[in-house]
C-alpha cells in the first residue's frame, strides 16, 4: 500500500518501472520460498496436520496422510480427522476460552490397533487467511522413526543383508526369541549376528573418533 502511494506521488515512469520490478522480484522470491518450504514439509518424517475448530482438515503432508489412512481404515473418508486426533484438538480449542492469554503445547500418545505408537504434539495456530482458529499437530510414528534410524545405522556399520534384518527388529524392541521366530532362524544365530553387529558398531565409532581427532 505504501509503494502505491509513493508511485502516485512522484508519478514518474522510471520510478514506476523500478517499483514494479522490485515488487515482481519480491513476489517471485516469496513464491519460490513458499514452494521450497512446502517441499521440505512434505518430505519430513513426522506428519504435519492443520485442523480448524470446525474439524476441517486444511493441510496434511505425505507422512500425515499415511497416518490418517491408518486411523481411518474402518471409515469411508480417508481425509476425515480421526476421533483420536480430534479429541486433542477439542481440548486445546476449549483451553483457549478459559486461558486466552496462555499458549498451550499439548503432548499425547495414541496406540493404534496394529500396535503402532503415535506421538502427537499440538498447539493453537492463528492463520490470517483463515477466519477460524486452527490447531497445528505434529505426528511422529515411533516405529517408522526407529526404522529410519536403524536403516541409516545399518549403512554406517556396513551390515550384511541378514545383519540388517536382525538390527531393524532389534531396534524395534524385539527380543532375541522374537527375532529368531520372525526370521526363521535360531536364537543362537541371532546372538552371533548381534555380536558381529556390535563389533562393527564399535569399529564405526572408533573410525569416526579418529577422524575427528585428525581434523
Span 37-87, pLDDT tens digits: 455 455 556 899 999 999 999 999 988 998 888 888 756 565 689 998 999
Contacts by 113-120, CB closer than 8 A, 24 or more apart: 114/70, 116/70, 116/141, 116/142, 116/143, 117/141, 117/142, 117/143, 118/67, 118/142, 120/85, 120/88
CATH class of 158-214: mainly alpha
Confidence of residue 116 (pLDDT cuts 50, 70, 90): confident
Confidence of residue 8 (pLDDT cuts 50, 70, 90): very low
Q: How many residues does the chain have?
A: 215
The residue extents of the domains of the chain are 2-41, 44-141, 158-214
User: Of 117 and 170, which is predicted with more confidence?
Assistant: 170
Q: Which of 96-105, 131-140, 181-190 has the highest mean pLDDT?
A: 181-190
CATH class of 44-141: alpha beta
Task: Identify which of 60, 43, 44, 45 has the alpha carbon closest to the alpha carbon of residue 142.
Answer: 45
Amino acid at each position: 500500500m505504501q509503494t502505491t502511494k509513493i508511485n502516485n506521488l512522484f508519478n514518474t515512469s522510471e520510478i514506476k518501472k523500478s517499483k514494479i520490478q522490485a515488487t515482481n522480484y519480491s513476489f517471485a522470491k516469496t513464491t519460490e520460498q513458499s514452494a521450497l518450504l512446502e517441499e521440505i514439509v512434505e518430505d519430513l518424517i513426522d506428519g504435519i496436520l492443520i485442523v480448524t475448530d470446525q474439524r476441517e482438515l486444511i493441510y496434511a503432508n505425505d507422512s500425515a496422510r499415511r497416518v490418517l489412512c491408518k486411523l481411518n481404515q474402518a471409515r469411508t473418508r480417508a481425509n476425515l480427522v480421526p476421533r483420536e486426533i480430534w479429541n486433542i484438538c477439542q481440548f486445546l480449542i476449549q483451553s483457549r476460552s478459559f486461558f486466552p492469554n496462555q499458549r498451550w503445547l499439548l503432548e499425547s500418545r495414541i496406540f493404534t490397533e496394529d500396535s503402532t505408537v503415535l506421538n502427537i504434539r499440538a498447539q493453537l495456530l492463528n492463520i490470517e487467511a483463515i477466519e477460524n482458529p486452527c490447531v497445528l499437530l505434529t505426528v511422529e510414528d515411533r516405529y517408522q522413526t526407529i526404522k529410519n534410524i536403524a536403516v541409516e545405522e545399518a549403512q554406517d556399520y556396513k551390515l550384511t543383508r541378514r545383519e540388517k534384518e536382525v538390527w531393524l527388529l532389534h531396534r524395534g524392541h524385539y527380543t532375541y526369541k522374537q527375532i529368531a521366530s520372525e526370521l526363521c532362524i535360531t536364537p543362537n544365530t541371532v546372538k552371533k549376528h548381534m555380536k558381529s553387529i556390535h563389533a562393527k558398531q564399535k569399529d564405526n565409532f572408533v573410525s569416526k573418533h579418529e577422524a575427528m581427532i585428525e581434523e
